[in-house]
Structure 1
Amino acid sequence: MVLACIDRLLLSSRSATARSWSQPRFAYRSIGCISLFWMLFSIHSLFGTTIFSRLGYTQCYIQPGSYTLFVALYSIIINYLLPPTLMAIFGLLTIANIRQTQRRIHPRTRSGYLHRKDRHLLRMLLFQVLVNIICAIPGGGYQTLTTLSLRANEVGDVGAKHIADALRHNTTLITLDITCSHIGAVGAKHLALGLRHNSVITTLDLGANRIGDAGVQHLGDGLRHNTTVTALDLRNSQIGDVGAQHVADLLQHNTTLCILNLSYNQIGDVGAQHLANGLRYNTTLITLDLGMNQVGDVVVQNLADGLRHITTLTTLDLGMNEVGNVGKQHFVDALRYNTATANTLDIEMNEVGDGGAPPFADGLRYNTVIIILSASVPCLNLHFFI
């Protein structure tokens, strides 16, 4: 379209030299040169794009950071602002040429290079420029939005419904943060319906809302059909044992979730037992945060036993729970046999006494992957680096 505008400008010029450039051979050369230029100018995407592949599912995405800002500005300026701006400039110059020509040539004169068909083509082209400007500029902001943060706003269930409707059609948003936004079970249901039809979002932060057990059930149903969400934050979301069961069901069926934060909830031994059972059938989870819940020694045994079989979990946070020396011993036994997981195990601020240090060290003696082990209370603070 920009080249067509340039061609119309040359054709309407009073200069014979400028009009001579409005020929097919120059058009073909211009198209070739412009195509080669933009291919070379866009080569940066080969180095700034990451390919994520897991269990047969492959997705290309841009890592958050400075390159994300560059791509956003690049897309807005090059794809949406520059073309209509150039088209508008060349269109206005073409109109100026036509008016100058009309002043010099009698309106009834039919001779000359500017025929009636050319005037019609010019009008059509100018109309296309106007339509392109109206339609392209708003689309630039929509198409390049990759991260949306509505943290600490009064979104509520009604707002969540509108967000869910947008998720059905959006093709670029990869991170959505609606932490502390007064969203309840009804809003979670709306979001779950939106996630069923969304195929790009990878990070969803719903922490500090009033989602509850019923809301988690809706989210679990929605994420069963979602194949892109890799990080889910549900900290401080009023989730109890029933909600933990729904999360466990999700872990058994979801094949993409890698990071799950369930800290600062009301998950007790019953709920943790459900999670332990769900983890046995999960093959993708890498990080699980259960800090500041009500997990005790009884269920810790099942979680520790799961470390022997889970081949992906690398970080388990049980900080500020009710884990004592008995639960600690279960982890010691698991560490003896774990050779492929548990890069980080955090049981900070539990009830492990000074006697816990030698058994932990003995367990680490047989473990080849542990990086950091934190088991700190006021009387015990241990960090092992191997």
Structure 2
Amino acid sequence: MGDKITDVFLQLFCEKNSDGTKHLRLKGKDLFQRIGSRLAADNMHDLANFLKNHNEITSVDLCYNDIGDKGAKILAEKYLNSQNNLEHLNLMHCDIRADGMAAIASSNLSNLKSCRINGNQLGATGARYIASLIINCPKLVHLDIAETNLSLESIESILIVIERCTLEILDMSRIIPNSYYTRYNVATLADDLGAVLETNETLVELHVQKCEFDGHDVEILLQRLEHSKVLEVLDLGCNRISDLGIQLISHWLKTRPPLRALNVSANSIKNFGARALSYSLPYSKIRYLDITNNKIGDDGMTAVLESLKKPCQMRLLYIWGNTIGKISCRRIKRMIASKVLDQEYIDVKICEVDGQLYPAFYPANHYKHKYYCVMDHGCPVELKIKRNKIYHPDSLPRQLLNMPHVGRYPPVDESLGLKVVKIKKCPEDE
């Protein structure tokens, strides 16, 4: 493959941004379907030389390639250690171990804002280098260390650093809840995580999926979370919090925390938990709610739907995977017709067959699709010049929700321009 990695070849995978920068996207599966192989360690020499000659590239996506420790060391030595403008680096599922992480962490990454190393088996040794990476990157705001084979001991060294850093988005899903002293202790993880949320004043988005949290662990977490004044996104998907956990979260939501997005999908929540959630939604600021793949029946779903008319209008609602009966179907159809919900932002579409209403899946939730960098069409598309529009933070209408893998809501209307005067807060932000 070495003879194929040329300057012209790499230029074909560069996307131009409206601010003059470029994004280099080299997904492993895309390359494999095009040329029959993925990037290997020996290809890092050519890639590093290309990046050094094109300082306008500020974002590099190398997910699902066979880079390994050798390739990571070459990339760090030939490119990352030199002066660069790199702001976003994606090394998801690249077979990197602790040695490769050590080389990356010791590099010159003063401009790095986003780093994704999820899916690499770093283990306990690699955790120390993740902590070093956080310390060496003063501008880092987004860190993804999910599925990196971290246990209770190894994650503590990272959490201690996060308590004092300016990190805004943290994804630490699938932490192994065991240690040298105990085989299984999720409560310790919940308590350590709560201590971070209590002291850190910049963390606004937290993802802790697949960590085996149950209702009692949520109680420990919320005892510390009550003191957090900045957390806006909480992702507890694919845990075991059940009705007890969602009931505790509901009591917390009644205190009107700054939380804007809540994901409790695949948590074995039933009607009791759904009703408890419906009692607190009118008091909350929730705009994004994901309760997919639970065990909620028609009665519980109806209770949730009836609580959505509140000062903070629900913007994105995902409920597929539960029992959506006739009553719920009528509620959803009426709410879409009255503009309480937008069909483009709910994953259920109501169809009428022989006078009866039936729910159908509507592909509105693309979170996992974007998180795992899945190819849009499953096969390579025609290579052409792609230009990404980078909008100004003050573009109108004012953004109500902005997450890395969820599109900005509401979308920018270029005819409105920018905010030139201070806009008075609406009641739902107070």
TM, length-normalised to structure 2? 0.53
1:373 aligned to 324, 333, 346, which one?
A: 346
Q: Secondary structure at the match of 1:143?
A: coil
Match among 166, 191, 207 for residue 158 of structure 2: 191
2: distance between equivalents of 1:329 and 1:268?
A: 19
1:341 is matched with 313
Structure 1 residue identity aligned to 2:267: N
Q: Contact between 2:145 and 2:172, CA under 8 Å: does it hold in 1?
A: yes
Change (3 A) 1:164 1:309: same
- SS class of match (1:208): coil
Q: Distance in 1 between matches of 2:303 and 2:169?
A: 33
Aligned residue in 2 for 1:208:
174
Q: How does 1:297-308 map to 2 (within 5 A)?
A: 297-308=271-282
1:280 corresponds in structure 2 to 254
Deviation at 1:294, TM superposition (A): 0.8
Gaps of 5+ in 2: 1-17, 25-54, 60-78, 85-104, 178-185, 352-357, 365-430
Q: Distance in 2 between matches of 1:239 and 1:381?
A: 31
- Report the secondary structure of 1:381's partner residue: strand
Match of 2:147 among 180, 205, 219: 180
Corresponding residue number in structure 1 for 2:217:
243
Partners in 1 of 2:338 and 2:229 — Cα distance?
Answer: 31
CA positional deviation for 1:146: 2.4
Query: What CA distance in whole angstroms lies between the structure 2 residues aligned with 1:206 and 1:175?
Result: 11
Q: Hey, what does 1:259 align to over in structure 2?
A: 233
Contact kept, 8 Å, 2:348 with 2:359, in 1: the verdict is: yes
CA 327–65 in structure 1, closer or farther in 2 if over 3 Å, else same:
farther
Q: 2:202, 2:107 → 1: CA distance? A: 24
Taking a change above 3 Å as real, the CA distance of residues 164 and 346 of structure 1, as seen in their structure-2 partners, is same
CA contact 2:213–2:239 (8 Å) conserved in 1:
yes
Identify if the C-alpha distance between structure 1 residues 146 and 278 changes in structure 2 by more than 3 Å, giving closer, same or farther.
same
Letter in 2 for 1:253: H
277-286 or 163-172, larger mean C-alpha shift: 163-172
SS in 1 for 2:193: helix
- 2:97 aligns with none
**Relative to 1, partners in 2 of residues 1:338 and 1:168: Cα closer, same or farther, differing over 3 Å?**
same
Equivalent position of 2:304 in the other structure: 331
Whole-Å separation in 1 of the counterparts to 2:23 and 2:260:
22
The one-letter code sitting in structure 2 at the alignment partner of 1:342 is M
Deviation at 1:184, TM superposition (A): 1.9
| Residue ranges of structure 1 left out of the alignment (5+ in a row) | 1-46, 49-62, 83-137
Distance 1:219 1:142, change over 3 A: same
Distance in 1 (alpha carbons) for counterparts of 2:159 and 2:297:
38
Deviation at residue 321 of structure 1 after TM alignment: 0.4
Q: CA RMSD in A?
A: 3.7
What is the deviation of 1:362? 4.3
The letter of the residue matching 1:185 is L
- Pick closer, same or farther for the CA change 1:252–1:367 going to 2, 3 Å: farther
Once residues 362 and 216 of structure 1 are traced to their aligned partners in structure 2, the CA distance between those partners, rounded to angstroms, is: 41
Contact 1:248 1:277 in 2 (8 A): no
- Write the distance in 2 (CA, Å) between the matches of 1:233 and 1:297: 25
Paired position in structure 1 for 2:36: none
Alignment of 1:49-64 (within 5 A): none
Aligned residue identity for 1:309: Y
Partner Cα separation in structure 2 for residue 349 and residue 290 of structure 1: 13
Superposed CA offset, 1:339-378 (max 9, x none): 4231122111112223321133445677746563334799
TM-score calculated relative to the size of structure 1: 0.59
Q: Deviations over 1:287-329 (max 9, x none)?
A: 111111111111211211221111x311111001011112122
**Structure 1 residues 105-146: Cα deviation after superposition (integer angstroms, max 9, x where no partner):** xxxxxxxxxxxxxxxxxxxxxxxxxxxxxxxxx998231222
Say whether 1:224 aligns with 2:190.
Answer: no
Equivalent residues in 2 for 1:1-386, closer than 5 Å: 70=56, 72=58, 81=83, 141-168=108-135, 170-199=137-166, 201-211=167-177, 212-310=186-284, 312-335=285-308, 337-362=309-334, 368=340, 372-375=345-348, 380-381=359-360
Q: Is the 8 A contact 2:124 2:154 kept in 1?
A: yes
Q: If each structure's strand is expressed as a fraction of its own residues, which one has the higher value? A: 2
Letter in 2 for 1:351: T
Distance 1:65 1:246 in 2: 42
Q: Distance in 1 between matches of 2:22 and 2:170?
A: 14
Corresponding residue SS for 2:359 = coil
Counterpart amino acid of 2:266? M
What do the CA deviations read for 1:248-297 (whole angstroms, capped 9, x no partner)? 33442222222222111111111111111222224322211111111111
For these two proteins, the number of residue pairs brought into alignment is 263
Higher RCO structure (Cα 8 Å, ≥6 apart): 2
Deviations 1:204-239 (A, max 9, x none): 111233243421221111121112222211111222
Partner residue in 1 for 2:62: none
- Give aligned-pair identity as a percent: 17
Higher helix share: 1
